[in-house]
Structure 1
């Protein structure tokens, strides 16, 4: 599809990408959402915690929502999306990736940007244990990359999956990593690394044969983390191999259901390669919207509902 013209025009202060990003991630509060936790066992013996919220009226439609790096199902961008979806007649299954639900996962491995096998397990669980006629996928940042890779790398997907919305997507992971290593993103990168290393130190106490303290002490950047842990724990040669194989960009031409990507121009996490203009122009199912403003998973909106939350509802309604 051709590029979608964006109508997003935030208040002056939120035209600053960093302020928009920080407001969404740190300042914004979402109240009044009741979630019910469901734990599923994965084929490898690990587990995922799913946090469900429901429409007031019984629904035949469910949206699987995926968080970003070091997020969880209680982050405001997840609960805000879930609250508005519930109000518009959709049930929501908000996934906590491995180790992100407040409890260390059972294996040395964890989650990563390309771990589509975990999304597949969630989809199969919902298809086999419920009667939803329509399933939609909705991901933010890392979760957006994961769902787009999932849709594009498989020859067949369950017929119940009808559409997808991905927000602030690092479609090319290496391009995004290079942005995160720049001085403008030093505070974000430091915060991500701090949380990742804290979790890895907990894992080290359980799996001392897998990684040593001296290895963890070598982690100075996010790329170091992916070289020393992510790649080794998940079967990649190194960080670059992980980025190359896990980026959704290469899979976008194969997507065969309506999918909307919303990446703002002033997202400091995204490099030029993360804006798949050519891929959108050549795939009739792929819709790309590039608002001038929004930051990274920001997109401030009135009445405590973000632009992307409202845009998601409109896109889903346009499908049927």
Structure 2
């Protein structure tokens, strides 16, 4: 048994290393059924050893407090029932049903929007399970907000706070204005982007560096969270060590903090998810937050 556990862990760590190299070389990745992240040239037969069942390719390829009983929810079990609120059904019903074909998903509706909880297995069935909890505003006046938790048995641990720059520590999987995702692309494409983000986060946790392109718009953030061999956050394609690293460490602490506060409206150390989101994860989604309190 111990040997089998070791083999499975070694398998997904090796897989993570391969994906990291591909991201570092800016190669295209694909997202398959249940969030498995594969190399672009792989087909279903090559990924079946990692994924239970048929490895259906997802629609997108990416380089990047009420009781639940009071909400309508749907599991990814082939249910086709509509959401009870006409506006929620019109805005999100079809997208959610498509999402549920690719990922295990729950939907919790309320007057102002939809909460979606998604399970993703970016390294395959025996790798880490990542839970994304996503707030989708009905009027779409703001970008979706999402938080990621790694499931450890019955417990859920918040993923590390890298590229979670906002005061509420929500995921920054891509800059909202760079065209990587828009509302027209749908929920499945959005979760694909979050899943690629999770691969990068897991790689950082395992190997100590963030693979592939990344954004870091101020000195305080870069010098605290970037390591020398990572891609610089300015978009130059150069390693941080030969690009902005020297300049960043010449910036005074007071100015760097002032710049961070101006950009993100919080202190660097004060980023954290809303307590109600952490409570929802700890309670295995039995009680969900009120979207009105978050957004």
Provide the TM-score with structure 1 as the length reference.
Answer: 0.27
TM-score by length of 2: 0.29
Q: Of Structure 1 and Structure 2, which has the larger fraction of its residues in helix?
A: 1
